[in-house]
């Protein structure tokens, strides 16, 4: 087990709102809708805390910008598919051992604030695809 997974430290990004084509109903395929993304990634913060340098941690701004660019360029029917694809991209491009990710569609169900999925994926999932 690496120090990153043992430390218990996490970087999180909550409430990242991105516009994309998502949904399986005909009208949903013609308009962009907002999805809201929450990410949690393992990182050992000890070195960065000592050096005060972003190069010694996971740059959450780079993660956010990449997720935004990825999602804006997608068109999926299901939030499950979008969540899976985001997870695989982050695991591959940012070399983290695992990711916990939620994707929600605000207002998708009348009377509900939002609806969505939460998934957890590891590098083993990346290798198994």
DSSP class per residue in 73-121 = T-EES-HHHHHHHHHHHHHHHH--SEEEEEEEEETSSTT-SEEEEEEEE
pLDDT of residue 111: 85
Please tell me which of 2-11, 26-35, 84-93, 105-114 the model is most confident about, judged by mean pLDDT: 84-93
Alpha carbons 33 and 106: distance in angstroms, whole number = 9
The 10s digit of each residue's pLDDT in 85-107 is 999 999 999 989 999 999 999 98
More confident residue, 72 or 110: 72
| CA proximity to 99, closest of 43, 59, 48 | 43
Question: Over the stretch 31-79, which tens digit does the pLDDT of each residue have?
Answer: 999 999 999 999 999 999 999 999 999 999 999 999 999 999 999 999 9
Say what the pLDDT of residue 3 is. Answer: 44
Residue 6 has what pLDDT?
A: 58
Of 91, 124, 97, the closest CA to residue 5 belongs to: 97
Query: What pLDDT shows up at residue 28?
Result: 84
Give the pair of three-digit tokens for residue 102: 């939620």
Q: Which residues are catalytic?
A: 105
Query: Does position 4 have pLDDT exceeding 60, yes or no?
Result: no
């Amino acid at each position: 087990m690496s120090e990153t997974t043992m430390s218990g430290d996490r970087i999180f990004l909550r409430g990242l709102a991105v516009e994309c084509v998502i949904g399986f109903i005909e009208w949903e395929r013609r308009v962009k809708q907002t999805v809201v993304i929450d990410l949690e990634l393992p990182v050992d913060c000890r070195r960065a805390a000592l050096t005060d340098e972003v190069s010694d941690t996971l740059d959450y701004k780079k993660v956010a910008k990449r997720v935004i660019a990825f999602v804006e360029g997608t068109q999926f029917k299901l939030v499950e598919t979008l969540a899976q694809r985001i997870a695989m991209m982050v695991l591959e491009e940012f070399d983290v051992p695992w990711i916990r990710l939620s994707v929600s569609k605000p207002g998708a169900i009348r009377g509900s604030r939002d609806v969505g999925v939460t998934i957890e994926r590891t590098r083993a999932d990346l290798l198994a695809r």
